[in-house]
Amino acid sequence: MEIKGEHEFSGPKELLYELLLDPDVLAGALPGVERFEEIAPDTYESTMRVGIASVRGTYTGRVEVLEQAPPDSYRLKIDGSGKPGGVRADASVELTENGPGTTMHYRADVKARGTIARLGGRLLGGVARLLIGQFFKSIEQQVDDRAA
């Protein structure tokens, strides 16, 4: 399944790039994150709790940041699994200047397995959008805090 979209942020792209790859910021901004640790350079392990319908559960996963080209783009490889199954995603993120703000374009190829794929498959897009929305809101807040 492909999930893609764009989002407008108020700050400059250099700031956004920094925030989006700061483990402490991510730990605070990702919804339901209970743990977010750097286990190797640009590789993180996290535990995340999702409380939505048939994809409800605790997931442990690994995030790798690849192809970093600050402040324009990077790629993420995500592999998470929990009792309801697992999700693997390959995501690319691009930041472009948009006046004083920044536009983020994101695109992810998501592969689900287990109950998530079977029962949650049709929820997955919606759940992802919900979580991504929460994440962006939180990043927005951080941008505003830095600007303040």
By CB under 8 A, residue 49 contacts other proteins: no
Among 4, 35, 49, 113, binds other proteins (CB under 8 A): 113
Task: Give the span between the Cα atoms of 33 and 31, in whole angstroms.
Answer: 6
At residue 11, what are phi and psi to the nearest 5 degrees?
A: -85, 175
Considering only the stretches 17-25, 36-44, 67-75, 109-117, report the one whose residues sit in contact with other proteins under the rule CB under 8 A. 109-117
Token pair 């199954």 in the structure block, residue: 85
Give Cβ neighbours of residue 127 (< 8 Å, ≥ 6 apart): 50, 52, 53, 55, 120
By CB under 8 A, residue 122 contacts other proteins: yes
Total number of residues binding other proteins (CB under 8 A)?
14
Give Cβ neighbours of residue 133 (< 8 Å, ≥ 6 apart): none
User: Which among 35, 87, 34 is positioned nearest to 76, based on CA atoms?
Assistant: 87
* Nearer CB in complex with other proteins: 118/137: 118
Q: How far is the CB of 81 from other proteins (least distance, A)?
A: 9
Question: Pattern 59-98, binding to other proteins, x per CB under 8 A?
Answer: ------------------------x-xx------------
Query: What residue ranges bind other proteins (CB under 8 A)?
Result: 1, 83, 85-86, 111-115, 117-119, 121-122
